[in-house]
Amino acid sequence: GVQSVIERLGNPNFTRFRLGIGRPITPVPIEDYVVQPFVADEREAAEEMIVRAADAVEAALKDGPVKAMNIFNR
Protein backbone atom coordinates (compact mmCIF):
# COMPACT_ATOMS: atom_id res chain seq x y z
CA GLY A 1 0.00 0.00 0.00
CA VAL A 2 0.94 3.61 0.48
CA GLN A 3 3.32 2.77 3.34
CA SER A 4 5.38 0.54 1.06
CA VAL A 5 5.61 3.36 -1.52
CA ILE A 6 6.82 5.74 1.21
CA GLU A 7 9.40 3.19 2.32
CA ARG A 8 10.65 2.70 -1.25
CA LEU A 9 10.83 6.45 -1.97
CA GLY A 10 12.29 7.27 1.41
CA ASN A 11 9.73 10.04 2.06
CA PRO A 12 5.99 10.72 1.86
CA ASN A 13 6.30 13.56 -0.67
CA PHE A 14 4.66 12.30 -3.84
CA THR A 15 1.46 12.97 -5.73
CA ARG A 16 -1.29 10.46 -5.03
CA PHE A 17 -4.18 9.61 -7.32
CA ARG A 18 -7.14 8.10 -5.49
CA LEU A 19 -9.85 6.12 -7.22
CA GLY A 20 -13.17 5.63 -5.45
CA ILE A 21 -14.53 2.10 -5.28
CA GLY A 22 -17.50 2.64 -2.99
CA ARG A 23 -18.37 0.48 -0.01
CA PRO A 24 -19.28 -3.20 0.17
CA ILE A 25 -22.97 -4.11 0.24
CA THR A 26 -22.24 -7.27 2.19
CA PRO A 27 -20.45 -7.32 5.56
CA VAL A 28 -16.92 -7.74 4.16
CA PRO A 29 -13.93 -6.10 5.84
CA ILE A 30 -12.89 -3.13 3.70
CA GLU A 31 -9.31 -4.45 3.37
CA ASP A 32 -10.72 -7.61 1.75
CA TYR A 33 -13.24 -5.71 -0.36
CA VAL A 34 -10.65 -3.51 -2.07
CA VAL A 35 -8.70 -6.47 -3.44
CA GLN A 36 -11.68 -8.42 -4.79
CA PRO A 37 -12.18 -8.54 -8.57
CA PHE A 38 -14.93 -6.38 -9.99
CA VAL A 39 -18.22 -8.17 -10.56
CA ALA A 40 -19.75 -8.12 -14.05
CA ASP A 41 -21.98 -5.08 -13.53
CA GLU A 42 -19.03 -3.06 -12.12
CA ARG A 43 -16.60 -3.71 -14.97
CA GLU A 44 -17.82 -0.98 -17.33
CA ALA A 45 -17.65 1.65 -14.59
CA ALA A 46 -14.19 0.39 -13.60
CA GLU A 47 -12.94 0.67 -17.17
CA GLU A 48 -14.28 4.24 -17.41
CA MET A 49 -12.61 5.07 -14.09
CA ILE A 50 -9.27 3.76 -15.37
CA VAL A 51 -9.50 5.90 -18.53
CA ARG A 52 -10.39 8.97 -16.44
CA ALA A 53 -7.49 8.26 -14.06
CA ALA A 54 -5.06 8.00 -16.97
CA ASP A 55 -6.36 11.33 -18.27
CA ALA A 56 -5.82 12.84 -14.81
CA VAL A 57 -2.22 11.58 -14.69
CA GLU A 58 -1.54 13.05 -18.13
CA ALA A 59 -3.05 16.39 -17.07
CA ALA A 60 -0.96 16.40 -13.88
CA LEU A 61 2.21 15.74 -15.86
CA LYS A 62 1.36 18.43 -18.39
CA ASP A 63 -0.15 21.18 -16.22
CA GLY A 64 0.68 20.19 -12.63
CA PRO A 65 -1.26 18.31 -9.98
CA VAL A 66 -3.25 21.30 -8.66
CA LYS A 67 -4.72 22.11 -12.07
CA ALA A 68 -5.45 18.41 -12.67
CA MET A 69 -7.23 18.17 -9.30
CA ASN A 70 -9.38 21.17 -10.18
CA ILE A 71 -10.41 19.49 -13.41
CA PHE A 72 -10.88 15.88 -12.25
CA ASN A 73 -12.05 16.01 -8.63
CA ARG A 74 -15.80 16.01 -8.23
pLDDT digits (tens, 9 = 90+) for 18-69: 888 777 788 888 888 888 888 888 889 899 999 999 999 999 999 999 999 9
Distance, CA of 72 to CA of 54 (rounded, Å): 11
- CA dist 17 → 36, 44, 56, 57 (Å): 20, 20, 8, 8
Residues belonging to the chain: 74
Residues 58/50, Cβ–Cβ less than 8 Å = no
Q: Is the pTM of this model over 0.85?
A: no
DSSP symbol at 36:
S
